[in-house]
């Protein structure tokens, strides 16, 4: 870690460093930070541990890069980042650590992950309340990064609202809401109101994110998996079309639908 910090300091040296690294700002490297996080997720999804090691290194570099620029500005340094997250882990795991960060000798009294999650949410809410007491009119849903993918941010916003008790009682009630929003999309489409269609589809997607939360499913992961399934079946559909003497772009919809169903049957047989 010390070597990595020294290397970054050398890269940022205004005289002897790398011109590209010297020219960067926290804002300019944000896209790289986001990209590296997604590449970590991709390595995990593929089960490639060697690639995961490399991608985690790339993501760590982003943390070091941001911290170095902040240190140059006199704002904070890498040690401050590490100390802050360490303090947060201790603060939010009172079932594991005492206030000094020493593991409890008797071990955690909590055994259910749902209990731990509820405690974590309660501690976060208390921290927000304490910060809010020092600020005028705090936003009760503030603090959820606007740069998050829209679906992930919708899930987090709904989770934050649920922490205040504003939530459906169960997944079945959310399904009813999804059906209601689907009907409203259909009405807006029938009326030919493009702005209303966009608004209602947004409401529908938000409701689906809530449904995923109630089902204990990460909506981003579910959508990525669903998209990957579509890609896989679309490629298999194209193979079926070629085997029958057809091709994508030259086949009518019934032929493509038949090939699609064949691709689905193939997956079922392999499973």
Mean pLDDT by 10 residues, the chain (271 residues): 97 97 95 92 92 97 98 97 95 91 86 83 79 63 82 91 89 96 97 96 96 93 92 95 92 94 87 55
CA 149 to chain centre: 7
Indicate the fold that domain 150-217 takes in CATH: Helix Hairpins (1.10.287)
Give the pLDDT score at 172. Answer: 95
Q: How far apart are CA 263 and CA 138, in angstroms?
A: 53
Q: How far apart are CA 65 and CA 11, in angstroms?
A: 10
Give the pLDDT score at 109. Answer: 85
Give the pLDDT score at 125. Answer: 76
pTM: 0.66
Give the pLDDT score at 134. Answer: 59
Q: Which CATH superfamily is domain 2-132 in?
A: MazG-like (1.10.287.1080)
Task: Return the ∠ at Cα 96 (arms to 95 and 98), rounded to 5°.
Answer: 90
Q: Where in the chain is the domain with CATH 1.10.287.1080?
A: 2-132, 150-217
Give the pLDDT score at 69. Answer: 98
């Amino acid at each position: 870690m010390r070597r990595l910090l020294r290397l970054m300091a050398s890269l940022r040296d205004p005289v002897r460093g790398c011109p590209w690294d010297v020219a960067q700002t926290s804002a300019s490297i944000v896209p790289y930070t986001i990209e590296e996080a997604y590449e970590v997720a991709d390595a995990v999804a593929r089960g490639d541990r060697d690639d995961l090691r490399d991608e985690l290194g790339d993501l760590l570099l982003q943390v070091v890069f941001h911290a170095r620029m902040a240190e140059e500005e006199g704002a904070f340094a890498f040690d401050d980042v590490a100390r802050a997250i360490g303090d947060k882990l201790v603060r939010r795991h009172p079932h594991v650590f005492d206030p000094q960060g020493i593991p409890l000798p008797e071990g955690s009294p909590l055994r259910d992950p749902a209990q731990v999650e509820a405690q974590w949410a309660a501690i976060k809410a208390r921290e927000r309340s304490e910060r809010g007491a020092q600020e005028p009119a705090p936003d009760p849903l503030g603090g959820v990064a606007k740069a998050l993918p829209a679906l992930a941010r919708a899930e987090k916003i709904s989770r934050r609202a649920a922490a205040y008790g504003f939530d459906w009682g169960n997944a079945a009630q959310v399904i009813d809401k999804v059906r209601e929003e689907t009907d409203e999309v259909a009405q807006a489409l029938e009326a030919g109101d493009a702005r209303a269609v966009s608004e209602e589809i947004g409401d529908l997607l938000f409701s689906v994110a809530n449904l995923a939360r109630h089902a204990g499913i990460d909506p981003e992961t579910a959508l990525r998996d669903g998209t990957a399934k579509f890609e896989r079946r679309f490629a298999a559909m194209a193979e079926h079309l070629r085997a029958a003497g057809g091709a994508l772009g030259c086949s009518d919809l019934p032929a493509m639908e038949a090939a699609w169903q064949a691709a689905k049957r193939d997956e079922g047989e392999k499973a």
